[in-house]
Amino acid sequence: MSEVARALSERGELVLRRRAGDGALELRVNGVFVMDDRETSSEELLALVALRGSPSRLLVGGLGLGYTVRTLLADDGVREVVVAEIEPELVQWMRDGLVPSVLDDPRVSVVVGDVRDAVGLEQPGSLDGILLDVDNGPDFLVYDENAAIYESSFLALCKEKLRADGVLTVWSSSESSALETAVRAVFGRCEVRPVPVELQGRDETYYVYQASS
Ligand SMILES: C[S@@+](CC[C@H](N)C(=O)[O-])C[C@H]1O[C@@H](n2cnc3c(N)ncnc32)[C@H](O)[C@@H]1O
């Protein structure tokens, strides 16, 4: 294991490291595995689901290693992607080239801060999609403050900022009936997509929750 970068923020310790065995780049927060660059299918699916509505303007929270944003940018119909990322160091690491960058694309703008504030600043009906992948999901939080992101009052704010037929997608590392219920309460329906993944030799399932306004 070799360390690529380390930073201390208000929320704790952020580490970017390269694994010895498979050479994967791995992001950890407060010692907890967040993601790597080997198994990125669920981060990409989060975007692919949102792209089905031919969106033009989307908001993504958070940046991570950039796979969700990169998948959106591969679609020529996408004109603007606002990315909310709470950790300034992570944005800087990408700007410095420690992580392959998605920030050079002129369609991308970064808001360094909480995705709840970034969504709050948007005009009603101004977004075609909101994609939320800021934590491990409601049941395995890295940051306790993120619990509110999976609750109905914030989901209702998201709905207000989406245009008619705009899409909400939410990533979770585990199946959560509370999240499904909250999405359904706000949007009237919720599709749950299990994504089988292989994590360093282990079979796991991640989940993408999806609803339209
Ligand atoms: C799992 S990663 C996102 C992975 C991303 N989908 C990708 O494709 O690489 C979660 C990211 O959300 C950020 N984050 C955590 N809480 C946040 C919040 N409340 N607002 C904005 N970003 C947040 C973390 O710093 C981290 O970069």
What residue segments make up the domains of the chain, in order of their start? 39-212
Over residues 129-181, the pLDDT tens digits come to 999 999 988 988 988 899 999 999 999 999 999 999 999 999 999 999 999 99
Q: Measure 66 CA to ligand 1 centroid, in angstroms.
A: 9
CA count, 13 A, side-chain hemisphere, 20? 2
- Give whole-number Cα distances, 140 to 103, 150, 153, 198, in Å: 29, 12, 20, 19
Candidates 63, 95, 174: which one to mutate for ligand 1, based on the most atoms within 8 Å of Cβ?
A: 63
Residue 146 alpha carbon, nearest atom of ligand 1: 19
Exposed/middle/buried for residue 76 (C-beta within 10 Å: 0-12, 13-18, 19+): exposed
H or E element that contains 153: helix 152-161
Quote the pLDDT of residue 158: 98
Residue 48 C-alpha to ligand 1 middle, in angstroms? 18
Q: Which of 30, 32, 86 to probe ligand 1 with, by most ligand atoms within 8 A of CB?
A: 86
pLDDT, residue 201, reads 84
Identity of the amino acid at 132: L
Give pLDDT < 50 ranges for the chain.
Answer: none
Q: Which residues contact 181 (CB under 8 A, 6 or more apart)?
A: none
CATH 3.40.50.150 fits 39-212, yes or no: yes
- The DSSP string of 16-83 is EEE-TTT--EEEEETTEEEEESS--HHHHHHHHHHHTT--SEEEEE--TTSHHHHHHHTSTT--EEEE
Rounded CA separation 139/142 (Å) = 10
> What's the pLDDT score for residue 105?
98
* 117 given a catalytic annotation: no
Please report the pLDDT score of residue 85 as a whole number: 97
pLDDT of residue 10: 86
Counting Cα atoms < 13 Å in the Cβ hemisphere of 178 gives 11
Catalytic residue, candidates 133, 135, 144, 203: 133
